[in-house]
Structures are given as C-alpha cells and as structure tokens.
Amino acid sequence: MGVKERQEREREAVSRAILDAARELFVTHGYQEVSIRKIADRIEYSPAAIYGYFPSKDDIFFALAEEGFRLLFSYGHDRERRPPVDATDAMRQMFWRYYEFSKEHPEYFALMFLDRSVPRIRDHWDRFGFVGQMKHDMVGRIQQAIDAGACPAGTPAHTVFRVLLTAAHGAAALRLCDRLAPGEDGDVLARATIDAALRGLQAGAGHDLQLPQYPCDEHVDVEKRQ
C-alpha cells in the first residue's frame, strides 16, 4: 500500500469516527446541546482537527443526513425483498420500507425526521439533489400503481405519497418515542395504519386533494412521469 493510499484510508477512518460519534451525541443529547468540542472529546481529537474534516457542525449533520437518505432509498436495490403481488401491494411495500428504516436505523431516523433542532433540510435542497430524484422515482411508481387501478383515476400521485408517508411516519414516531400503549405491537399498528390509509385512498379520499410540494420537487415534474 502506497503512502497516499494509506493516508486516504486514515482520513476516511477519522471521518467515519467523527460521523459515528456525532450521530450518537446528536441523538442522545439533542443537536443544539452538542458542540464540535464534545465531538472531538468523544474521539479524543482536538476541535481544530475536526474542522479539518468538516467546516461546521451543520456540515456534519448534512453528511449524516445524506447517509441516512441513501440507506432509506436503498430498498430499490434489495434483490432479496419479495416482489409486490399487485399495484396496491407495491405501494404498501414502499411505505412499509420507510417504517422498517425507522427500526433498522433508529438513530438516523430520529436525527433526520424527529429532532426539530437540526438544520432544516428543506432549506438546503441544493445539497440533496439525489433525494428529489429518488422521490420522483417513488411518485412515478405510485402513478403506475394508480394507472393500474390501485386508486381512482385522476388521484394525484403526490397526494398518495404524502398520505401514505404520514401514515408510516406516525407509526414509526410512536414506536421510537415510546408512545405505544403497554403491550401494543408497533409493527401491527404500522401495518394497520398503512392499510387503513390505502383503503381510504382506494375509496376516493384524496382524489380532489392537491397538496403543496417541497423544494426538491421544483426541478422534477412528478405528475408527468411516463
């Protein structure tokens, strides 16, 4: 191994240590309560050394958020996942995966979607262009499901996306925030919530509901996907 390659690996290892320490501290103590010094102390580095890898605490968060989004959308490459039986099942699996993400990667989920003190990702979509494209792909699959009869013709695909996302997110948040009733199964609740939302959409709820879109949609016309 050459000197340059070894230095690059060492730099990647330190960067990984910074991100892992920051993620744990952010979730445990809250984003606003964590300083660069606290992160440095956790990995026994100086604050100045941390700045050599990330210009600010916000940049550390954005790096973690990018990792989290890539993990969340990785289901599209999971060859072992059971293929959907029909159009409705395809949508069900899509949002069940969101709930599964909250279980498999609770620290990322809490940091990205529950901590209100972190920088607003929606104000920095220029750093997350791939998220807009991935969402575009999801809404495109929803449109295909609508065209196949999963919802009444003309139901806005973006509305279906937001309704099902809200259903999955609510169940995930209740479980992660320990708000389930004694003995209540979070998985059962999540499945029931997603299925109830699907049945409502199939019955026509949302057909005339036009919801605002996020900045990440501005450069992608999600309703005109082929």
224: left (phi over 0), alpha (psi -120 to 50) or beta: alpha
Q: What is the pLDDT of residue 85?
A: 72
- How many other C-beta atoms are found inside a 10 Å radius of the C-beta of residue 129? 12
* CA dist., res. 138 & res. 157, Å (int): 9
Give the side-chain half-sphere CA count within 13 A for 105.
20
Q: What is the pLDDT of residue 81?
A: 57
Sign of CA dihedral 103, 105, 109, 110: positive
pLDDT tens by residue, 93-111 = 999 999 999 999 999 999 9
Q: Break the chain into its structural domains and give their ranges.
A: 3-55, 68-224
pLDDT tens by residue, 125-154 = 778 888 888 889 999 999 999 999 999 999
Could you tell me the CA-to-CA distances from 40 to 21, 31, 55, 108 in Å, in that order? 9, 15, 14, 20
Choose the CATH number for 68-224 among 1.20.1730, 1.10.238, 1.10.3470, 1.10.357.
Answer: 1.10.357
User: Can 3-55 and 68-224 be said to share one CATH topology?
Assistant: no
pTM as predicted: 0.86
Q: What is the pLDDT of residue 196?
A: 98
Ranges of residues in the chain whose predicted pLDDT is under 50: 79, 219-226
Architecture of domain 3-55 in CATH? Answer: Orthogonal Bundle (1.10)
Q: What is the pLDDT of residue 226?
A: 38
Q: What is the pLDDT of residue 223?
A: 40
